[in-house]
Amino acid sequence: MKKIFFILIPAMLLAFFPFIAHLATEGVAPPFADTDDYFASIAIFVAAVYAGYKIYVSRERLKQNAKELERAKNFNNMVLSGIADGIYATDLEKNVTLWSKGAERITGHKAEGVIGKPCKDFLSHTDENGTALCGTHRCPLTVMETKKILPQQVVTAYKSDGQRILVAVTAAPLTENSNIVGVVEAFRDATKERELHRIKESLINMLIHDFKNPLSLIGVVLETMSSDKKDINERFLKMAYQAVGELDNMVINLMEIAKMENVFELNKETFSAEDALKEAVKKAEVTAIVSKHRLLLLPLSPPHGGGQGEEPDMPQVSADRYMLMRVMGNLLGNAIKFTPPEGEIIVSAANSLPLDRGGKGGGEIKIMVSDTGPGIPKQFHKLIFDKYWQADAGKRSERRGVGLGLAFCKMVVEAHGGRIWVESEQGEGSRFIFTIPVTEKH
């Protein structure tokens, strides 16, 4: 109704203006015989109605266009806010005209603090040597001159707190009517990605190195065994067996970690923990003898606080026997590898108190592998269980393998609901400990 009045009232006023004017001046209505004035009034009325309608339509169209523009603006802002990568744009003077939420998250710089300012004041792209890229051919803003999309490159940038990060950037010129009006750049934080790439490269290099040593040893052994001296052949055959075992262990660790990271299911069975420990020690005996180590298996210790002189029952465990044997093999292999000749490796176990301290729970068994090796500094006690951590330790002369064996042990133990840790002091040997829940007694 309001829309109709908006059109009709102005039109009626214009159409009947002569009638109202005559009435006001003459005191009487004009005669209808004045046909020309009458039809002129009608014509004015029709024209006014049409003009009012056109005004109304234009007004509604402007409102609709404004709503559509607002929706488009909100949609664009929503899309920009949802993109994890940083996106920003500059004008021809290299001042920032757009700064996305992703750019805020990556750099810590808020949009209100950067819009209208030169991008070099807060991004400060540099190469890996710290050389500033602004003004060089590697600067992303050079696309204004080249008029081509910049392929992705990794450069450095600085966050609002001064932290240096690596970013993968690409840029393209902004055009309007075939004229370049600025640059748009997309970037993402590549710090972790580049670090992972570096660690993988280190791992590959060390795998090549660690595979080469046993293979070279096998070659020397085979060449030596071509002689007729039986005593020498027997000794070198044991060395070749040990070298093949090292290669086999590294390959199996790689395969099993890859399998566990995808789909991993435990094939549990109930068996004697004592039998499993005896089997693990027996398998490691040959390697220990060849490397001149003393390998011992101690009897099961009673739980902490248990009666002295009591003969503890050896518990049954419900576990994946194969995986548990692999854990023991890795721990014993490390102990033998890093303990000097004539050193001692001791395997022991102890019952822990029931989990609920009420006798209903199954409790857990604690298994320990101790050595008289060089020990591990305290700051590395947790890191040694991280996958590929040893690959990152290539700078240290005390590197302990490729960092897969202990990561595998941690994954298996935790999958069983147990824990694993190390107790060690540098220069005083190490003791690796893990727990496995035992079968409940009914």
> Residue 318 pairs with which residues in a beta bridge?
270
Angle between helices 273-290 and 321-338 (to 10 degrees): 30
> Residue 366 pairs with which residues in a beta bridge?
350, 435
Residues 181 and 217: their CA atoms lie apart, in Å, by 67
> Residue 368 pairs with which residues in a beta bridge?
348, 433
Q: Which two tokens stand for residue 400?
A: 């302990």
Q: Which amino acid is at 145?
A: E
* Rg of the chain over all Cα atoms, to the nearest angstrom: 41
pLDDT of residue 141: 80
pLDDT of residue 413: 92
Q: Say if CB 240 and CB 215 are below 8 A apart.
A: no
User: What is the greatest pairwise CA distance in the chain?
Assistant: 148
Strands 364-371, 344-351: pairing kind: antiparallel
Q: Which two tokens stand for residue 152?
A: 């992705």
Q: Which two tokens stand for residue 359?
A: 């006798």
Q: What is the mean pLDDT of each run of 10 residues along the chain (442 residues)?
A: 54 57 56 56 69 78 84 76 82 87 87 85 74 77 82 82 84 86 87 74 61 64 61 64 68 65 74 90 84 87 54 75 89 90 92 51 83 90 76 46 73 89 91 86 48
pLDDT of residue 33: 45
Q: Say if CB 355 and CB 412 are below 8 A apart.
A: no
| Cβ atoms within 10 Å, residue 207 | 16
Number of residues that make up the chain = 442
Q: Which two tokens stand for residue 207?
A: 């795998």
Strands 364-371, 430-437: pairing kind: antiparallel
pLDDT of residue 78: 76
| Cβ atoms within 10 Å, residue 180 | 14
Residues 318 and 363: their CA atoms lie apart, in Å, by 12
Q: Which two tokens stand for residue 39?
A: 């039809």
Category of 206 on φ-ψ map: left (φ > 0), alpha (ψ -120 to 50) or beta: alpha
pLDDT of residue 358: 41
pLDDT of residue 369: 96
Strands 164-176, 179-189: pairing kind: antiparallel
Scanning the structure block, which residue is given the tokens 């209100």?
112
| Its pTM surpasses 0.85 | no
Name the helix (H) or strand (E) containing 364: strand 364-371
Strands 344-351, 294-297: pairing kind: parallel
Q: Which two tokens stand for residue 228?
A: 């007729």
